[in-house]
Amino acid sequence: MSFTADDWVLVLDMLGTVVFALSGVLVARRLQMDGFGLLVLASVTAIGGGTIRDLVLGVRPVFWVVDVLYLWVILITCIVAIPLAQLLSRAKVNWLLLRADALGLATFTAIGVNKALDLGAPAIVAVGMGVLTGVGGGVIRDVLAREMPMVLCREIYATACIAGGLVQVLVDHQTGQTPLAMLSGMLVTLLIRLAALHWHWQLPTFGKLDQH
């Protein structure tokens, strides 16, 4: 039995949910939150970006209200990850967090672009929805954790989403193959983000305006 395009989208969506929930768990572990705080942080990271995307696109009700499998996946991820996270040192937690976040970023960007295209959105809007889906949950997570969201720093973060989204839209337009387009976009986003982490690439910042 071969996978359909919808099957591939569901698999990638579940992967992104697990990975982003895990990144929420790791942040909560680093900040020594209690179980409720951990669950909240994992949930908003995993479904926050997609929720905002659906609200912007006018999708009612939002995806996790229609399919509660997302909530169960988040809960199971938390239960499994809590004892495992306790075994990791702070340095390993930070290292794993950044890689898990990169994979979730790439996956959810592809999901967001695909959903917008399915709804007939123009290419530029689809890319924007990909970025929103990719970074939205992480922004909420970082704000709740009282940290500066990576998307607002010099990190190559949203830029990676834009590049991956553009590639996905182009491949989808040229081939009409949804799985190929999504995997292409994911790969570009992931490789750029991982390369930025490895080589410490950063975007230029504005200089102080009051310098003389």
- The answer to whether 156 and 202 are in contact (CB under 8 A) is yes
Can you give the pLDDT at residue 205? 73
pLDDT in tens, 68-96: 999 999 999 999 998 888 887 878 888 98
pLDDT in tens, 44-71: 999 999 999 999 999 999 999 999 999 9
- The answer to whether 137 and 46 are in contact (CB under 8 A) is yes
Rg for the chain (alpha carbons), in Å? Answer: 17
pLDDT in tens, 117-138: 999 999 999 999 999 999 999 9
pTM over 0.85: yes
Averaged pLDDT of the chain: 91
pLDDT in tens, 154-209: 789 999 999 999 999 999 999 999 999 999 999 999 999 999 999 988 888 766 54
Distances in Å between the Cα of 149 and the Cα atoms of 126, 138, 155 are: 23, 7, 10
